[in-house]
């Protein structure tokens, strides 16, 4: 099972697959970070850990159910001349859920109707974990199918998945805190999730969308947003204190 450890090409494959799994996990991290942000502060770290642990367990479970995974690509029925498989149903359903959830979060953010985190309580904690678990299945399915297409050794796939989730565990809190501090970044992240959801839906109808285009668009948009944040921060630091002084004088009637 571990004969590959003496094969340099296998180590290259492991590094490549681990890096790819980390990239594929970016949308998973964003989704989890936004969901746990609705919980009380004391519950967020635990919910984040549970969510990413569920992601790893789901990926490994699907990986070791490789025969079942491969069976998902077999057509179940035809619709308007298109063959629909179990994988297609999961991708379309997951994509629609992601679009709906992200749209709902954007609406709440813009209309100011977000639920107070302190009022969510244990019921909110359970709902957040359920939503994370559902999307973990969709993200894991895509991740595992990609891994199976690149590597033959199951042990290499399993190690790559564990390494990727370990990196995600380290990165999730900084990313979540950053998103919470900057509302415009949160809206951008939710827009990313809508784009990912649309991608899942069209791929469920056998329209292949190269992942490179998606991640390039996300990286470019994030780079522009970072420039905007830096510009706003610079303007705030350079704002002359005289304006505040004049405003105070005017308010006092002087």
**Full domain range(s) for residue 127:** 3-209
Residue where one domain finishes, among candidates 174, 192, 209: 209
Q: Of 16 and 202, which is predicted with more confidence? A: 202
* 253 and 148 co-located in one domain: no
Number of domains in the chain: 2
CA torsion, ordered 244, 247, 251, 254, to nearest 10 deg:
110
Q: Of 66 and 43, which is predicted with more confidence? A: 43
Distance CA 247, CA 159 (A): 61
Average pLDDT over residues 171-189: 80
* 218 and 116 co-located in one domain: no
Pick the most confident of 21-25, 86-90, 219-223, 246-250. 219-223
**What is the value of pTM for the model shown?**
0.65
Which residues pair with residue 194 across a beta bridge? Answer: none
Interacting residues of 155 by C-beta distance below 8 A, sequence separation 6+: 1, 2, 4
* 224 and 198 co-located in one domain: no
| Tokens at 132, concatenated | 């994370």
* 68 and 99 co-located in one domain: yes
Instruction: Indicate the pLDDT class of residue 34, thresholds 50, 70 and 90.
Output: confident
Task: Tell me the per-residue pLDDT of 51-102, one tens digit each, with 9 for 90 and over.
Answer: 888 888 887 887 777 656 656 667 777 777 777 887 788 778 878 887 887 8
161: pLDDT strictly greater than 70:
yes
Residue where one domain finishes, among candidates 209, 225, 246: 209
244: pLDDT strictly greater than 50:
no
* 83 and 202 co-located in one domain: yes
* 159 and 223 co-located in one domain: no
Q: Looking at residue 236, what is its pLDDT?
A: 75
Task: Tell me the per-residue pLDDT of 105-131, one tens digit each, with 9 for 90 and over.
Answer: 788 777 765 554 444 444 477 788 888
């Amino acid at each position: 099972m571990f004969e590959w450890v003496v094969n340099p090409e296998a180590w290259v494959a492991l590094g490549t697959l681990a890096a790819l799994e980390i990239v594929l996990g970016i949308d998973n991290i964003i989704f989890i970070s936004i969901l746990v942000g609705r919980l009380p502060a004391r519950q967020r770290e635990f919910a984040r850990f549970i969510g990413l642990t569920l992601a790893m367990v789901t990926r490994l479970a699907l990986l070791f159910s490789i025969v079942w995974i491969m069976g998902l690509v077999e057509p179940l029925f035809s619709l308007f001349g298109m063959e629909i498989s179990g994988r297609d149903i999961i991708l379309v359903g997951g994509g629609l859920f992601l679009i709906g959830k992200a749209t709902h979060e954007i609406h709440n953010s813009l209309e100011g109707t977000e639920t107070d985190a302190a009022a969510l309580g244990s019921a909110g904690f359970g709902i957040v974990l359920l939503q994370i678990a559902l999307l973990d299945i969709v993200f894991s399915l895509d991740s595992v199918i990609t891994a199976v297409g690149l590597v033959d050794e199951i042990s290499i796939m399993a190690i790559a998945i564990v390494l990727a989730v370990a990196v995600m565990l380290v990165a999730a809190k900084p990313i979540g805190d950053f998103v919470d501090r900057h509302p415009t970044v949160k809206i951008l992240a939710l827009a990313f999730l809508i784009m990912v959801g649309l991608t899942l839906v069209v791929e469920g109808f056998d329209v292949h969308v190269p992942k490179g285009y998606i991640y390039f668009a996300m990286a470019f948009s994030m780079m522009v947003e970072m420039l905007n944040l830096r510009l706003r921060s610079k303007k705030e630091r350079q704002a002359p204190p005289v304006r505040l002084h004049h405003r105070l004088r005017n308010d006092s009637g002087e």
